[in-house]
């Protein structure tokens, strides 16, 4: 598990570090410009929510089965033997250096090679030690080098091996599918009163992250409407997360002192949420604070002037559970690109925290910032 965590954090490290101009997590960070809680009486959330289309639109290649064969990597386990001689059967593990050891061979570098290529290499190597080159059998036993992360409100969440082409639907099925009333009834939990809180999966806010960016796929359309155009093929190290439908939190991200999930309280306002994240940093661009709401595939976004609110010139606004509050470092240019920045920051935050939660007992939730970019 430690190896998995280190590898996962390595994948997302560039995302995490991209916005770390300011050290949010040490005493050297600048003091927040704490907004006055008395500024502006909270009213209903602003009416200027706009539905945006994410710009990282899916293309047909995502639904095309990869043509590349599985290639070996460190940790993969193989059964290797000379055909016709069962006494030579060897359980070989691909080492950190990418090599396996069999019979008289000093070490065969198989990292990045397919099973047929590996067999040919061993046969060629053995021909140097025996008069007639033997036929070699190579069987893939366990996969450790290529995995997918399937976490959240799934019936059997976990980190699963990926030893061949795998679609999103196949992956979700492997993890037991999203938690739903039907799945809980089938397991007897609803009938017995266990899990009666209706803590089911939220397909509208489920996401797939690849290389630090959200992949445009609609889980609701795939699982509820049978839209197979959403059934894309996964790649190694893809992170799939299915959140709870009853989570009552607000995500406060961006140019705040402590980006974090804030527990939602009744009639929580924008000022209160940002204050819970220890306020904004010195260079925050307060005139374009965003509130993102609704489905991740078709989010709505409202941009408010937080400077006007904290100075009492405009009323505060009420938030809803699940809202994403983003304080930018600089003004945005297009609403679509701004929404994409916010969503990628949000999913990276969730992925790092949930990945750490899945692989270690003691972890401290962190916030992720992808700042300093002109929008």
Rg of the chain in Å (alpha carbons): 25
Is 346 buried (19+), middle (13-18) or exposed (0-12) by CB count in 10 A? buried
> What's the pTM value of the predicted model, to 2 decimals?
0.76
Question: How many Å apart are CA 375 and CA 338, to the nearest integer?
Answer: 6
Cβ-proximal residues to 132 (8 Å cutoff; 6+ apart), any chain: none
Could you count the other beta carbons within 10 Å of the beta carbon of residue 156? 10
Question: How many Å apart are CA 238 and CA 240, to the nearest integer?
Answer: 7
Cβ-proximal residues to 98 (8 Å cutoff; 6+ apart), any chain: 72, 73, 74, 109, 110, 111, 112
Q: Structure tokens of 159? A: 């980190």
Instruction: Name the 3-class secondary structure at 77.
Output: strand
Cβ-proximal residues to 128 (8 Å cutoff; 6+ apart), any chain: none
pLDDT beneath 50: ranges in the chain: 13-40, 55-56, 191-197, 370-375
Question: How many Å apart are CA 34 and CA 32, to the nearest integer?
Answer: 5
Query: What is the pLDDT, as a whole number, of residue 319?
Result: 93
How far from chain centre, in Å, is Cα 365? Answer: 14
Helix locations, 255-334, DSSP H = 270-276, 306-310
Q: What percent of the chain has pLDDT over 90?
A: 53
Could you count the other beta carbons within 10 Å of the beta carbon of residue 33? 16
Q: How far is CA 145 from CA 8, 13, 234, 282, in A?
A: 12, 19, 15, 43
Q: Structure tokens of 241? A: 């997360």
Question: How many Å apart are CA 138 and CA 120, to the nearest integer?
Answer: 10
Which structural domains are found in the chain, ordered by start? 2-57+247-359 (3.10.560.10), 60-67+147-242 (3.10.560.10), 77-142 (3.30.1950.10)
Of the candidates 212, 312, 321, which has an alpha carbon nearest to the alpha carbon of residue 267?
Answer: 321
Q: Which helix (H) or strand (E) holds 291?
A: strand 289-293
CB 293 within 8 A of CB 18: no
The DSSP secondary-structure symbol of 100 reads E
Query: What is the pLDDT, as a whole number, of residue 28?
Result: 36
Q: Which residues of 198-211 are buried (b: 16+ CB within 10 A; e: fewer)?
A: eebbbbbbbbbbbe
Q: Which residues of 290-301 are buried (b: 16+ CB within 10 A; e: fewer)?
A: bbbebbbbebeb
């Amino acid at each position: 598990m430690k190896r998995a965590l280190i590898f996962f954090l390595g994948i997302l490290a560039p995302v995490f570090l991209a916005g770390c101009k300011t050290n949010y997590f040490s005493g050297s960070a600048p003091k927040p410009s704490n907004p006055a809680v008395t500024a502006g009486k909270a009213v209903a959330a602003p009416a200027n929510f706009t539905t945006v289309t994410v710009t990282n639109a899916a293309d047909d290649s995502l639904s095309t089965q990869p043509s590349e064969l599985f290639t070996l990597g460190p940790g993969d386990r193989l059964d290797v033997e000379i055909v016709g001689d069962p006494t030579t059967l060897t359980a070989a593990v691909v080492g950190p250096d990418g090599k396996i050891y069999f019979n008289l061979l000093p070490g065969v570098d198989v990292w990045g090679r397919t099973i047929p290529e590996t067999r040919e290499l061993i046969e060629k190597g053995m021909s140097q030690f025996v008069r007639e080159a033997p036929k070699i059998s190579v069987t893939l036993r366990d996969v450790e080098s290529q995995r997918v992360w399937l976490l959240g409100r799934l019936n059997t969440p976990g980190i699963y091996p990926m030893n061949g082409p795998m679609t999103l639907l196949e992956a979700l099925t492997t993890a037991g599918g999203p938690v739903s009333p039907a799945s809980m009834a089938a397991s007897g939990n609803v009938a017995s009163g266990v899990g009666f809180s209706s803590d089911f999966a939220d397909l509208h806010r489920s996401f797939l992250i690849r290389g630090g960016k959200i992949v445009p796929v609609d889980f609701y359309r795939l699982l509820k409407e049978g839209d197979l155009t959403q059934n894309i093929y996964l790649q190694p190290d893809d992170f799939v997360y299915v959140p709870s439908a009853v989570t009552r939190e607000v995500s406060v991200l961006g140019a705040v002192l402590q980006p974090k999930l804030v527990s939602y309280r009744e009639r929580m306002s924008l000022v209160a949420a940002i204050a819970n994240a220890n306020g904004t940093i010195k260079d925050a661009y307060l005139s374009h604070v965003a509130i993102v709401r609704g489905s991740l595939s078709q989010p709505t976004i409202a941009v408010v002037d937080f400077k006007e609110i904290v100075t009492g010139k405009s009323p505060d606004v009420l938030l809803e559970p699940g809202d994403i509050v983003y304080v930018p470092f600089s003004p945005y240019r297009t609403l679509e690109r701004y929404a994409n920045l916010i969503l990628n920051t949000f999913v990276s935050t969730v992925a790092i925290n949930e990945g750490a939660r899945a692989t270690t007992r003691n972890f401290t939730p962190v916030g992720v910032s992808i700042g300093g970019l002109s929008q």
